[in-house]
Structure 1
Amino acid sequence: MEAVREQEATSLHQRILADISERILSGEWAPGHRIPFEHELTEQYGCSRMTVNKALSQLAKAGLIERRRRSGSFVRRPQSQAAILEIHDIKVEVQALGLPYRYEPGTRQKRKSMAQDRALMDLRPSGLILDLTCRHFAGQRPFCLEERLINLAAVPEAADEMFDDTAPGPWLIARVPWSAAEHRIRASAASDDVADALDIDAGSPCLVVERRTWSAEHPVTHVRFTYAADSHTLVARFTPSQNG
């Protein structure tokens, strides 16, 4: 009889884990959503409070929820990691979180470069560029805002690409071999436009990663990725230099 009760408790524990995980990973329960209180889950599943507590503790250990004393448990905003010495694919970042990825194209404008563009892209003569914005989603929530300039002298075929279904980053990597890249990382407060794009409050802290790439010394692209500060971590791995 004792073995039967233990098996039933294990089964309910797994069911609670599966139900809550599915609602979080599907985006049904967004970051900040309050998980039902322990006594509510106990009544819902017809199990002991110990079984519920064990399931919630496991979800917190997995990083899916945050438990706050006296306030309850809340869905955590998933945090991705990216190596700053690599050119990474945002789709891979999102999928590594176990969340469905979605790409949404935004504005697209082919125009003459201005002084500010030439400074960003290290362009010397003026010429045509493609000015793009798009968003990347993790589940139902915006994950990253992408603002990109492409040098059409280096990538003329981009002028006819609409980027309706494919993000500019993977498209460029598949077509233009890059020989050098530069990353700049900074903190920023969300402007009204950025806040609207990321569905956060204006003034919220953001992590901004800017990248420039070259191919055979020709500037290819400048891109600015903006993340809500609590959704992204940058990681660098290195070894001691030979000079100590």
Structure 2
Amino acid sequence: MNPARRIRDEIAGLIRSGAWRPGDRIPTEQELAAQHGCARATVSKALSELAASGLIERRRKAGSFVAHPPVHSAVMTVPDLAELIAARGENYRWQASSIEAAKRSEAAIPAPALCIEGVHLAAGEPFAFERRLISLAEVPDARGVDFEKEAPGTWLLAHIPWTEARHIIRAVSPNRKEAALLGVGTTAACLELDRTTWRAGRIVTHVRQLFRGDRFDLVAEFNAGMKGEG
């Protein structure tokens, strides 16, 4: 077998078997060349193919790492990020940065409202920034919830049924605060999901979630029987 292909297949096998987990650092080109008794150029070719297939990330001056698989979410659903991340085999954690009463009515949600900001983490790394408003007129029980420990979206999905939802999806660049929280540069490609949900015609919550572009996909499936433009 071609040496580069053999190295590529061996590393791919370690990743797919779970022996090497997302975020794990891969041995250096020098170490792999010594291990396999080949030239660094051969190792570099194998790593380039792995990066092109999305299995690893090559970071300048930092080395190569097992890539975090992108999380897929259906466009027309209201997903629980904790469940989506856990389904990929990664540890999930919510980290609140601020919880306070909204200072004014915004996003069509009149005061009183609760404003919550924080970061969703996957495998210990930032996955998405969230800023959420919850209508306390519609969801008064939210006052007594410890959103330091539980992500507001997870709690709402478990306790407050919604009847309508609207998504607005944009490709954006983060501001400095958001970039710092997500661990990316201000020129990084991010996906913004702006969502409002209603119950019986009354707004329950409005949320703006900003995802790292390399970690999240929105997916929709259609069939020939659905109406719409071709």
TM-score (norm 1): 0.74
**Aligned residue for 2:226?**
241
CA distance in 2, matches of 1:14, 1:65: 10
Which residue type is aligned with residue 73 of structure 2? Answer: A
Which residue type is aligned with residue 139 of structure 2? Answer: V
**Aligned residue for 1:109?**
100
Secondary structure in structure 2 of the residue aligned to 1:87: coil
CA distance in 2, matches of 1:243, 1:203: 35
CA distance in 2, matches of 1:182, 1:92: 21
- 1:67 deviation in Å? 7.4
Q: Percent identity?
A: 35
CA distance in 2, matches of 1:40, 1:16: 18
| Offset from partner CA, 1:139-163 (integer Å, 9 cap, x none) | 1310011110000000001012121
- Structure 1 residues 129-138 or 201-210, which shifts more? 201-210
- 1:242 deviation in Å? 5.3
**Aligned residue for 1:167?**
151
**Aligned residue for 1:17?**
14
| Offset from partner CA, 1:16-39 (integer Å, 9 cap, x none) | 8269954542x343xxxx6521x5
Indicate the RMSD between aligned Cα atoms, in angstroms.
3.6
**Aligned residue for 1:198?**
182
Which residue type is aligned with residue 222 of structure 2? Answer: F
* Native 8 Å contact 1:211 1:223 kept in 2: yes
CA distance in 1, matches of 2:200, 2:144: 23
TM-score (norm 2): 0.78
CA distance in 2, matches of 1:133, 1:81: 23
Query: 1 or 2, which has the higher helix percentage?
Result: 1
Secondary structure in structure 2 of the residue aligned to 1:63: coil
Q: Which runs of 5+ in 2 are unaligned?
A: 1-5
CA distance in 1, matches of 2:102, 2:15: 50
* Native 8 Å contact 2:14 2:20 kept in 1: no
Secondary structure in structure 2 of the residue aligned to 1:86: coil
Which residue type is aligned with residue 226 of structure 2? Answer: S
**Aligned residue for 2:142?**
158
CA distance in 2, matches of 1:18, 1:74: 10
Matched, 1:142 2:133: no
- 1:210 deviation in Å? 0.9
Aligned length: 216
**Aligned residue for 1:227?**
211
Q: Which runs of 5+ in 1 are unaligned?
A: 1-8
Which residue type is aligned with residue 152 of structure 1? Answer: L
